Amino acid sequence: MLLNWEELKAYFASAEQIGGADARYKARMIRSMLFDNVNYLYMTFLAPIVSEFDRVNSTFQAPKADPQYLINELTLHYRSLYNSV
């Protein structure tokens, strides 16, 4: 989402003008979120955390995953989250 932040802002700004009444309302709400710099800061902060969760999740969705590897990944993930606090 961060890679396309400016494009999303432009898209929803234009969608706010050309859609139907319901679509314009939804586009206005999303546009206001995208133009809020605090939301951009939140997304910037959360991007590495979300990518780490995605990585761990994808290892658990593998068709032939090694159970020992999964336990090691989960333990490492747990330690990285709770030992850094």
pLDDT digits (tens, 9 = 90+) for 35-80: 999 999 999 999 988 888 898 889 889 898 889 999 998 898 888 8
Rounded to whole angstroms, the Cα distance separating 9 from 2 reads: 11
CB 31 within 8 A of CB 12: yes
Tokens of 2: 């961060």
Backbone φ and ψ of 65, nearest 5°? -95, 145
CA distances from 58 to 53, 65, 81 (A): 9, 10, 18
* Distance linking the first and last C-alpha atoms of the chain: 27
Backbone φ and ψ of 13, nearest 5°? -65, -40
pTM beyond 0.75: the answer is no
